[in-house]
Amino acid sequence: APAGSEEANPLEDFNYGDDDYSETATGEESPETAENRLMPQSSSTSTTTTFRPIFNIPRRSNHVLEPSCPRNCLCLEDFKFVQCANAHLTHVPLDMPKTAAIIDLSHNVIAELRPEDFANLSRAVEINLNHNLISSIDKDVFQGSERLKRLRLANNRLTKIDPDTFAAAKELTLLDLSNNTITQRLDGSFLNQPDLVEFSCVNCSWTELPEQTFQNMSGLEVLRLNKNDFKQQINTKAFSPLTKIIKLKLPELEQQNIEELCSLLTSIDTISFLNYDISCYEFVLGTPFNGSLIYPTEPPLKGITNPPIVASITSTAKPVTATPAPPRSANRNRGKMDNSTELVKAGILSSETSTSGVSVEPPAESQTNQVQISQE
């Protein structure tokens, strides 16, 4: 190629969007596509561009070949997504491409994480290690993971976590340790991660929460601790540092604990339990405890035995985009329906008036249920 016409390396400028990868994505491809991606790459130094689209000849930049893909793995999106799930791996491959941003190592038989496993993967933003056999993590494993944002370690064999295990990953915002039998610390913060936003330890065999559990995790906004056996009692003082929490999922608790949490966590709207949610917003405003409960499925409306049915409504007006109403508490809506029913019984409100305030005339027996609406 002529001097001065060297092309810029497309891997130098990398910008990854958080929504580009889903945890539930399988990454499966057709056999033909997978075979093409796994074909050995030519080491030719030819600058001819005619056969590149056909044989995918790797580019050279200053006489350095593009990264290679580990055995039994798929490397997609210019080696930014490394798919090694279900590859029967016993260790993290040491020949990972340095450009890897999303690394899926789930559903393997990896038993430990070594200091060298991610030492050269400074561009990694998400690592999925769910469903392995990991029982120990060296405290220096993530020393080179300055950009790591999401780490998934659910369904492993972890029993102990050092508070500084993930301290080097200063941009870490999501950590999932669910389904591990992790011993709870009795003194000090469980983790020293003040910038962690989302933490899940579902079914971690926790039976208590010492007061300092979240002392150095004050940035949490989402916390999931359901399926732990707290015997319906919990130390609510442990949640005092969580001034930013907006979503909390817990196992069943006594009413007194729930009331204390609603009063303590001023930024939270609802607390989720197994069979219902509690609206702290309604409760703080003075709504009785039972009136603040929100069930997943609303019960049938009381007092309405034959609700009006309008079939096949047509209109000559041009379709317009509806403006959604602001979200409301399910309990407030239920109370409004009950109030309307009482007015009907008292004869104050006409039975032909629906709960939304729209008058619906009952159709005559000799007429059809067709309603025609015309608009000038």
pLDDT, one tens digit per residue, over 156-169 is: 999 999 999 999 99
Confidence of residue 194 (pLDDT cuts 50, 70, 90): very high
What residue type is 58 in one-letter code? P
Distance in angstroms (rounded) separating the CA atoms of residues 118 and 120 = 6
32-41, 216-225, 229-238, 257-266: range with lowest mean pLDDT? 32-41
Is residue 240 packed enough to be buried (19+ CB in 10 Å), middle (13-18) or exposed (0-12)? middle
The answer to whether residue 322 is domain-embedded is yes
The answer to whether residue 11 is domain-embedded is no
The answer to whether residue 204 is domain-embedded is no
- If you average pLDDT over residues 103-116, what whole number do you get? 96
Q: Which two tokens stand for residue 172?
A: 């870490």
pLDDT of residue 169: 94
pLDDT of residue 23: 42
The answer to whether residue 306 is domain-embedded is yes
The total number of structural domains that make up the chain: 1
Helical H segments across 190-278, by residue range: 255-264
Query: How high does pLDDT run on average in the chain?
Result: 74
Sequence-ordered strand ranges (E) for 158-228:
174-176, 198-200, 222-224
pLDDT of residue 64: 55
pLDDT of residue 320: 43
User: 159 and 132 in contact (C-beta within 8 Å)?
Assistant: no
Helices and strands: H and E segment counts in the chain: 5, 18
- 34-48, 224-238, 358-372: range with highest mean pLDDT: 224-238
Q: pLDDT tens-digit profile of 264-299?
A: 998 888 899 888 888 888 877 888 888 888 886 544
Sign of CA pseudo-dihedral 299, 301, 306, 312: negative
Distance in angstroms (rounded) separating the CA atoms of residues 14 and 20 = 13
Confidence of residue 186 (pLDDT cuts 50, 70, 90): confident
More confident residue, 256 or 365: 256
122-131, 192-201, 344-353: range with lowest mean pLDDT? 344-353
pLDDT of residue 325: 47
Percent of the chain predicted with pLDDT > 70: 61
User: 292 and 261 in contact (C-beta within 8 Å)?
Assistant: no
The answer to whether residue 215 is domain-embedded is no
The answer to whether residue 344 is domain-embedded is yes
Q: Which two tokens stand for residue 276?
A: 């219902």
Domain that holds residue 310: 299-355+371-376
The answer to whether residue 314 is domain-embedded is yes
pLDDT of residue 12: 42
The answer to whether residue 328 is domain-embedded is yes
Distance in angstroms (rounded) separating the CA atoms of residues 21 and 246 = 24
